Protein backbone atom coordinates (compact mmCIF):
# COMPACT_ATOMS: atom_id res chain seq x y z
CA UNK A 1 0.00 0.00 0.00
CA UNK A 2 2.83 2.37 0.83
CA UNK A 3 4.52 1.66 -2.46
CA UNK A 4 1.33 2.45 -4.37
CA UNK A 5 0.88 5.72 -2.43
CA UNK A 6 4.49 6.73 -3.09
CA UNK A 7 4.11 5.87 -6.78
CA UNK A 8 0.93 7.98 -7.06
CA UNK A 9 2.62 10.91 -5.26
CA UNK A 10 5.72 10.75 -7.46
CA UNK A 11 3.72 10.51 -10.67
CA UNK A 12 1.62 13.52 -9.64
CA UNK A 13 4.81 15.43 -8.86
CA UNK A 14 6.35 14.51 -12.23
CA UNK A 15 3.33 15.75 -14.14
CA UNK A 16 3.11 18.98 -12.13
CA UNK A 17 6.84 19.84 -12.13
CA UNK A 18 7.27 20.73 -15.83
CA UNK A 19 4.42 23.24 -15.74
CA UNK A 20 5.76 25.04 -12.67
CA UNK A 21 9.42 24.93 -13.75
CA UNK A 22 8.93 26.70 -17.08
CA UNK A 23 8.72 30.26 -15.80
CA UNK A 24 10.84 30.22 -12.63
CA UNK A 25 8.97 33.35 -11.56
CA UNK A 26 10.48 35.42 -14.38
CA UNK A 27 7.87 36.94 -16.67
CA UNK A 28 8.22 36.08 -20.31
CA UNK A 29 9.20 38.95 -22.57
CA UNK A 30 7.37 39.99 -25.70
CA UNK A 31 7.39 37.86 -28.82
CA UNK A 32 10.02 38.48 -31.48
CA UNK A 33 8.98 41.57 -33.45
CA UNK A 34 6.99 43.07 -30.57
CA UNK A 35 7.64 45.50 -27.77
CA UNK A 36 6.22 45.57 -24.27
CA UNK A 37 5.99 48.53 -21.90
CA UNK A 38 5.20 48.17 -18.20
CA UNK A 39 4.62 51.63 -16.75
CA UNK A 40 4.32 51.21 -13.00
CA UNK A 41 4.13 54.99 -13.06
CA UNK A 42 4.67 57.62 -15.73
CA UNK A 43 8.25 58.59 -16.48
CA UNK A 44 8.80 61.53 -14.09
CA UNK A 45 9.99 64.87 -15.50
CA UNK A 46 13.30 64.80 -13.60
CA UNK A 47 16.89 64.26 -14.70
CA UNK A 48 17.55 60.75 -15.99
CA UNK A 49 20.98 59.15 -16.30
CA UNK A 50 21.04 56.63 -19.15
CA UNK A 51 23.55 53.87 -18.39
CA UNK A 52 24.57 51.01 -20.68
CA UNK A 53 25.04 47.44 -19.48
CA UNK A 54 27.34 46.71 -22.45
CA UNK A 55 29.46 49.35 -24.15
CA UNK A 56 29.26 48.67 -27.88
CA UNK A 57 28.98 51.01 -30.83
CA UNK A 58 25.38 49.92 -31.47
CA UNK A 59 24.45 50.43 -27.80
CA UNK A 60 26.01 53.93 -27.71
CA UNK A 61 24.14 55.00 -30.85
CA UNK A 62 20.83 53.70 -29.50
CA UNK A 63 21.50 55.39 -26.13
CA UNK A 64 21.90 58.66 -28.02
CA UNK A 65 18.42 58.17 -29.53
CA UNK A 66 16.94 57.34 -26.09
CA UNK A 67 18.45 60.55 -24.72
CA UNK A 68 17.01 62.55 -27.64
CA UNK A 69 13.55 61.09 -27.05
CA UNK A 70 13.73 61.73 -23.29
CA UNK A 71 14.74 65.35 -23.99
CA UNK A 72 11.75 65.70 -26.31
CA UNK A 73 9.55 64.55 -23.40
CA UNK A 74 10.94 67.36 -21.22
CA UNK A 75 13.49 65.42 -19.18
CA UNK A 76 17.04 66.50 -18.50
CA UNK A 77 19.42 63.72 -19.47
CA UNK A 78 23.00 62.87 -18.67
CA UNK A 79 25.37 60.12 -17.70
CA UNK A 80 24.97 60.52 -13.93
CA UNK A 81 22.59 61.99 -11.36
CA UNK A 82 18.80 61.79 -11.06
CA UNK A 83 16.83 58.63 -11.77
CA UNK A 84 18.73 55.87 -13.54
CA UNK A 85 17.65 54.23 -16.79
CA UNK A 86 19.59 51.05 -17.47
CA UNK A 87 19.78 50.13 -21.13
CA UNK A 88 20.67 46.68 -22.37
CA UNK A 89 21.30 46.18 -26.09
CA UNK A 90 21.92 42.59 -27.17
CA UNK A 91 22.58 41.38 -30.69
CA UNK A 92 22.84 37.62 -31.15
CA UNK A 93 23.87 36.25 -34.53
CA UNK A 94 22.96 32.56 -34.55
CA UNK A 95 23.10 32.23 -38.31
CA UNK A 96 26.69 31.01 -38.46
CA UNK A 97 28.75 34.04 -37.57
CA UNK A 98 27.49 36.48 -40.15
CA UNK A 99 28.78 34.54 -43.13
CA UNK A 100 27.96 36.13 -46.43
CA UNK A 101 27.76 33.64 -49.27
CA UNK A 102 28.68 36.26 -51.84
CA UNK A 103 32.20 36.71 -50.42
CA UNK A 104 34.86 34.64 -52.21
CA UNK A 105 36.88 32.18 -50.17
CA UNK A 106 40.41 33.12 -49.08
CA UNK A 107 42.99 31.80 -51.47
CA UNK A 108 45.65 29.47 -50.09
CA UNK A 109 48.46 31.35 -51.88
CA UNK A 110 47.57 34.54 -50.01
CA UNK A 111 49.22 33.17 -46.89
CA UNK A 112 51.35 30.17 -47.93
CA UNK A 113 54.56 30.07 -49.92
CA UNK A 114 57.13 27.34 -50.57
CA UNK A 115 58.31 24.82 -53.13
CA UNK A 116 54.91 23.12 -53.39
CA UNK A 117 52.24 25.74 -52.78
CA UNK A 118 48.64 24.57 -52.63
CA UNK A 119 46.43 25.04 -55.64
CA UNK A 120 43.93 27.87 -55.53
CA UNK A 121 40.63 26.99 -53.89
CA UNK A 122 37.49 27.70 -55.89
CA UNK A 123 35.78 30.97 -55.08
CA UNK A 124 32.36 29.42 -55.65
CA UNK A 125 31.20 26.16 -54.13
CA UNK A 126 31.09 23.29 -56.59
CA UNK A 127 27.83 21.41 -56.64
CA UNK A 128 24.15 21.69 -57.34
CA UNK A 129 22.79 25.18 -56.65
CA UNK A 130 19.45 23.96 -55.39
CA UNK A 131 21.11 22.12 -52.47
CA UNK A 132 22.80 25.19 -50.97
CA UNK A 133 20.75 26.08 -47.90
CA UNK A 134 19.58 29.61 -47.37
CA UNK A 135 21.20 31.61 -44.61
CA UNK A 136 19.02 31.06 -41.53
CA UNK A 137 17.39 34.06 -39.91
CA UNK A 138 18.73 33.45 -36.43
CA UNK A 139 19.97 36.96 -35.71
CA UNK A 140 18.11 38.77 -32.94
CA UNK A 141 18.35 42.33 -31.65
CA UNK A 142 16.87 42.99 -28.21
CA UNK A 143 16.63 46.39 -26.50
CA UNK A 144 15.60 46.61 -22.83
CA UNK A 145 15.13 49.80 -20.82
CA UNK A 146 14.51 49.87 -17.06
CA UNK A 147 13.98 53.10 -15.11
CA UNK A 148 14.94 53.01 -11.43
CA UNK A 149 14.17 55.59 -8.76
CA UNK A 150 17.37 57.27 -7.56
CA UNK A 151 16.63 57.15 -3.84
CA UNK A 152 15.35 53.61 -3.25
CA UNK A 153 16.08 51.71 -6.44
CA UNK A 154 12.39 51.02 -7.05
CA UNK A 155 11.53 50.08 -10.65
CA UNK A 156 9.31 52.79 -12.13
CA UNK A 157 9.10 51.74 -15.77
CA UNK A 158 10.35 49.00 -18.12
CA UNK A 159 10.30 48.51 -21.87
CA UNK A 160 11.58 45.66 -24.01
CA UNK A 161 11.54 45.16 -27.77
CA UNK A 162 13.14 42.69 -30.15
CA UNK A 163 13.55 42.11 -33.87
CA UNK A 164 14.92 39.38 -36.08
CA UNK A 165 17.36 41.26 -38.26
CA UNK A 166 20.65 40.92 -40.13
CA UNK A 167 23.66 42.78 -38.80
CA UNK A 168 23.53 45.30 -41.67
CA UNK A 169 20.07 46.46 -40.50
CA UNK A 170 20.64 46.25 -36.72
CA UNK A 171 21.01 50.02 -36.28
CA UNK A 172 17.83 50.76 -38.23
CA UNK A 173 15.93 48.12 -36.25
CA UNK A 174 17.23 49.47 -32.93
CA UNK A 175 16.22 53.03 -33.79
CA UNK A 176 12.79 51.79 -34.79
CA UNK A 177 12.36 49.93 -31.48
CA UNK A 178 13.41 52.99 -29.46
CA UNK A 179 11.13 55.32 -31.43
CA UNK A 180 8.15 52.95 -31.13
CA UNK A 181 8.74 52.69 -27.37
CA UNK A 182 8.78 56.46 -26.85
CA UNK A 183 5.82 57.17 -29.16
CA UNK A 184 3.55 56.24 -26.23
CA UNK A 185 5.87 55.54 -23.30
CA UNK A 186 3.51 56.15 -20.39
CA UNK A 187 0.96 53.45 -21.23
CA UNK A 188 1.15 49.73 -20.47
CA UNK A 189 1.05 48.01 -23.83
CA UNK A 190 2.27 45.26 -26.10
CA UNK A 191 2.69 46.46 -29.67
CA UNK A 192 4.58 45.99 -32.91
CA UNK A 193 8.27 46.93 -32.58
CA UNK A 194 8.41 48.35 -36.11
CA UNK A 195 11.06 45.90 -37.30
CA UNK A 196 12.41 46.54 -40.80
CA UNK A 197 11.45 43.96 -43.39
pLDDT in tens, the chain (197 residues): 666 555 555 555 445 444 434 444 445 678 888 999 999 999 998 999 999 998 999 999 999 999 999 999 999 998 777 899 999 999 988 765 544 443 333 343 444 445 555 555 555 556 665 654 444 457 899 999 999 998 888 999 999 999 998 888 899 999 999 999 999 999 999 999 888 87
Structural domain includes residue 51: yes
Structural domain includes residue 176: yes
Structural domain includes residue 191: yes
Structural domain includes residue 20: no
User: Is this structure's pTM higher than 0.95?
Assistant: no
Structural domain includes residue 14: no
Structural domain includes residue 122: no
Number of domains in the chain: 1
Q: Residue 140: beta bridge partners? A: 92, 164
Structural domain includes residue 69: yes
Q: What is the CATH number of the domain that holds 56?
A: 3.30.160.670
Structural domain includes residue 170: yes
User: Residue 148's domain spans which residues?
Assistant: 29-93+142-197
Amino acid sequence: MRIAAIFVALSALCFAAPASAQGYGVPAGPKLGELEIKAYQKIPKVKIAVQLTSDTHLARELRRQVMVRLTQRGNQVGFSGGNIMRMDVSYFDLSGGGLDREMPMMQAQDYETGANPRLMLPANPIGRRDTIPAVPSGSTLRVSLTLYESSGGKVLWTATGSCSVRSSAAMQAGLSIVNHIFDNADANRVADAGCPL
